[in-house]
Structure 1
Amino acid sequence: MHRSASRFTRVLACAAVPVILTVAGCSSDSGKGSGSDGAKKSTASSPAKPSGKASAALEKAAFASLPDPCKSIATATVDSLVPEAKDKNGTATKSNDLTTRASCSWNGLDEDGLKGSQYRWLSISLVRYDSHASLGSANKRAEDQYNKQVETAKATEGAHDVKVEAAGGIGDQGSSVVFGVKKDVDFFNTTIVARTQNVVVTLDYNGAAYEGAGAPDQAKLLQDAIVAAKEVVASVGTANQQQKQPEQQASPSPQ
């Protein structure tokens, strides 16, 4: 009996070991495992990880301002395109923010006695865009506006014989839209739409003949309009370069 009892005691002791290990294992896991109060507290105290992919940073707008549209082309260009202009300084359109939207126009009637008269009208419009988190990059917004302006010119009320062509060498994108409009006389219209980075330039140039004068040469109108548009695009770059120079001068030099 004594030997049997001793053997039975040893069996119970051996059987109890896995139980103790299992309990200890569960107790150890409870400090690490998910779903425990300790795990919840640890998760709450740790910084939250960002979900999803981080949105790409929008590019900074290349141009921060616009030139004075009435000074965006040379006086000699105005004299050439609009002889006898009523105001050679141009007429600026009012704007709430001249850094984002500005325009200027000229018109004049060049009378030549019995040879009749030639009328010319020139308009320059500039629109600038900034990058915006919900609207997109400055250049993409300008590109969308560029396309809209081309379509608007094509859809001019009363336009006939509309011809659209690419106009190379004017900024990053350029198009010419040529058409005629019948009013009291035939008006010959040329619209140049150009984009330079985040700025869209729209130049409208038209002419008409009165009192027996010969009709304007459409090819000449187009050529002159392209020359003027190139000046306007160049003035955008110049105006922003001039703005940077005072800022650079004001900045303290590195020690």
Structure 2
Amino acid sequence: MHRSAPRLSRILACAAVPVMLVVAGCSSDSGDAKESGSSASPSAKKAEPTVEPAKFDALPDACTSIGKKTIEDLVPKTKNKGGTPGKSSDTSVRGGCSWNGLDDNGVKGSQYRWLDVGFTRFDSDQSLGSGAKRATDEYTKQVAKTQATEGAKKVSAKPAAGLGEQATSVTYGLTKSSEDFEYATLVARTGNVVVSVTYNGAGFAGAKSPSSADILKDALKAAEEAVAAVGADDGAKTSPSAKTSASPSAEPTAKASDKATAKATGKSSAKAVSKS
């Protein structure tokens, strides 16, 4: 009995050895896993490509972008030779000006003309793209919008050479206040700026309306001067850095044209009646 007790103790001690080795082995594996995890390097982030800086960082004064002589030729008897500025909360990104006039010849009839010029500039933006790309998108939208003018007849759109980097002329007829008007709109893009020129005319009190070809010819003359005015004051300034700017939208000018037309039509008709 006394000899069996020590023997039992030795057996238990030997049986415990494998258990301790197993525990130690598990502990070692756990440490290796942690070290392996901590040594893993995070994946490198891809550098975002920088956008091309915008070519122009300012717009010309819309009311002086077309020469006085051209205004006199295209809009005879204009009521405001200096033009009527369009509304804009930021003239560095959007500007416009319009002129209208009625050459009243009494019972012999009258000629009405209306001219409008608009500028829209886009800055380069890391998330939205370069100013040139954003201007290209706006150019496409304006051409499509002009072609879809409500009530327009005989719509024709053609590329216009020599105006900026891309340009389109859109001609069409439109009946307003019982008069037939001929319209021509030139939409052009130069760098990060979109230029839009709209010219229309009609004959009142029996006078013959201008031809579509004549209206387009005069509209092209005004558009050439408007496009040339972009960057003319300071050369082609390049923005030092891409700026963040909400995409401006060109405000429609049809309402202003309609008001001026209605007023001119009433005036011409009244005079024609009194003199007849």
- TM bin (shorter chain): 0.7 to 0.9
Distance change in 2, residues 1:36/1:223 (3 Å)? same
Corresponding position: 1:150 with 2:143:
yes
- Tell me which residue corresponds to 1:250: none
Alignment-derived partner of residue 83 in structure 2: 90
Matched, 1:194 2:211: no
1:214 correspondence with 2:218:
no
Structure 2 gap segments, 5+ residues each = 1-27, 239-276
Between the aligned partners of 1:198 and 1:113, the Cα distance in structure 2 is: 46
Displacement of 1:237 after TM fit?
2.1
Gaps of 5+ in 1: 1-29, 245-255
| CA separation of 1:114 and 1:152: change in aligned 2, threshold 3 A | same
Q: Which amino acid aligns with 1:198?
A: N
Aligned residues: 210
* Matched-pair contact (CA < 8 Å) for 2:68–2:81: yes
Task: For residue 239 of structure 1, give the secondary structure of its aligned residue in structure 2.
Answer: coil
Counterpart in 2 of 1:103? Answer: 96
Q: Secondary structure at the match of 2:66?
A: coil
- Structure 1 match to 2:169: 176
- Quote the Cα distance in structure 2 between the aligned partners of 1:106 and 1:134: 38
Aligned AA for 1:139? A
DSSP 3-state at the match of 2:216 = helix
Deviates more, 1:75-84 or 1:131-140: 131-140
Who is 2:221 aligned against? 227
Alignment-mate amino acid for residue 207 of structure 1: G
**TM-score between the two structures when normalised by the length of structure 1:** 0.76
- SS in structure 2 opposite 1:194? strand
Q: Is the 8 A contact 2:104 2:110 kept in 1?
A: yes
Q: Is contact 2:56-2:237 (8 Å) kept? A: no
1:10-67, CA deviations, whole angstroms, 9 ceiling, x for partnerless residues? xxxxxxxxxxxxxxxxxxxx9xxx9555555555xx7x5523x422210000000100
| Deviations 1:140-183, CA, capped at 9 Å, x for gaps | 11001001001111111110100111101000011000000112
RMSD: 2.3
- Cα distance in 2, alignment partners of residues 39 and 240 from structure 1: 61
Q: Structure 1 residues 231 and 41, CA, compared in 2 at 3 Å: closer, same or farther?
A: same
The aligned amino acid for 1:226 is L
| Kept in 1: contact 2:77–2:102 (CA 8 A) | yes
- Which amino acid letter does the alignment assign opposite residue 220 of structure 1? D
Please give the TM-score of this superposition, normalised by the length of structure 2: 0.71
2:124 pairs with 1:162: no
> Separation in 2 of the partners of 1:243 and 1:172?
17
- Per the alignment, residue 11 of structure 1 pairs with none
Question: Which stretch has the larger CA shift, 226-235 or 106-115?
Answer: 106-115
Counterpart residue identity of residue 135, structure 2:
A
* Cα distance per residue 1:72-99 (max 9 Å; x no partner): 0100010011011110000001211100
- Structure 1 residue 136: deviation in Å? 1.3
Larger RCO: 1 or 2 (CA < 8 Å, sep 6+) = 2
**Structure 1 residue corresponding to 2:232, chosen from 216, 229, 238:** 238
1:81 paired with 2:74, answer yes
CA contact (8 A) 1:63 1:240 kept: no
User: Which of 116, 122, 133 is the equivalent residue of 1:129?
Assistant: 122
